[in-house]
Amino acid sequence: MPAAGTTSERTADWSIQEVARLAGTTSRTLRHYDAVGLLRPSRVASNGYRHYDADALVRLQRILLLRDLGLGLPAIQEALDGDPGERGDRPPSGRDAQVRALRGHLEWLQAERQRLARQIASVERTITTMEGGGELMADDMFDGFDHTQYKDEVEDRWGKDAYARGDAWWRGMSDDERAAWQARSRELGEDWAAAAARGVDPASEEAQALARRHVEWLGAIPGTPGAGAAPVKEYVVGLGEMYVADERFAKNYGGVEGATFVRDALRVYADLHL
């Protein structure tokens, strides 16, 4: 019978050199992740070599994905340690939390793949047109190269992951899907402005129905805090304040007066339902 602690009784793991090779990184990087508390080895052998089990590899995969989103190590640490099951000794429920988080990363990657496919097709059309002596069409040339005028602002307010997921979702839409979303957004803004112009009470049934539509609209956007269920209360209330403070947003609701009505109705809704 093998002695306690031998390989036959241990969970399978990989040496630091193996992990570095598999992940396309370096042993030095992995040692740095250990030093800053981002990725601890699952065990250290008697010769001092670090080894990593399957859960550690999952965490490393998430670290690399978040790094590719542009997050720095402190932000990655905060994102990972904020997940249930990522703190301390991982409890059995921790793997479920990891799967949920990875599904979010996968959603972003799939949308990014669609965006890259659109860019590839756009460049291919440009090459074909130029080689054939045809006339270049600007709309075709820049499909997949959407502008991101609010990128810095969104990242400052809600983090790079929130912006990246929302941006990838938008870029991954077809033209028809984007047009439908814009029409939905425009209709919601017009309904808010009309209700405000009629002096509707923010706590009324009509205003609260609009607030519910607004929250559902927000919840459909990947990257929204709490999206997929209902946005978190602080996010909804904060947006309402921003609509009033920022004229770029206020104009969507008929100006500051309309935005104030939206803010007040959202606050009532958030207090009651979020």
Helix (H) or strand (E) holding 46: none
Q: Are 259 and 244 in contact (CB under 8 A)?
A: yes
The pLDDT, as a whole number, for residue 147 is 41
Catalogue all structural domains in the chain, each as residue range(s) with its CATH number. Answer: 8-81 (1.10.1660.10), 91-172 (no CATH), 174-274 (1.10.490)
d(CA 161, CA 70): 8
Count CA atoms within 13 Å of residue 228 on its CB side. 11
Q: pLDDT class for 1, splitting at 50, 70, 90? A: very low
d(CA 35, CA 63): 15
Q: Residue 86, Cβ neighbours under 10 Å: how many?
A: 18
The pLDDT, as a whole number, for residue 154 is 52
Q: Which residues are 43's β-sheet partners?
A: 51
In the chain, the percentage of residues whose pLDDT exceeds 90 is 25
Mean pLDDT computed over 31-50: 93
Among the residue ranges 25-29, 114-118, 243-247, the one predicted with the least confidence is 114-118
Count CA atoms within 13 Å of residue 30 on its CB side. 26
Structure tokens at 115: 């965006």
Separation of CA 132 from chain center? 41
Q: Which residues are 15's β-sheet partners?
A: 51
The pLDDT, as a whole number, for residue 9 is 47
Helices assigned H by DSSP within 132-254: 138-141, 151-158, 160-171, 175-197, 205-219, 233-245, 247-250
Structure tokens at 72: 């720095």
- The reported pTM is 0.45
State pLDDT tens for residues 165-196: 666 777 777 877 877 887 888 889 889 999 99
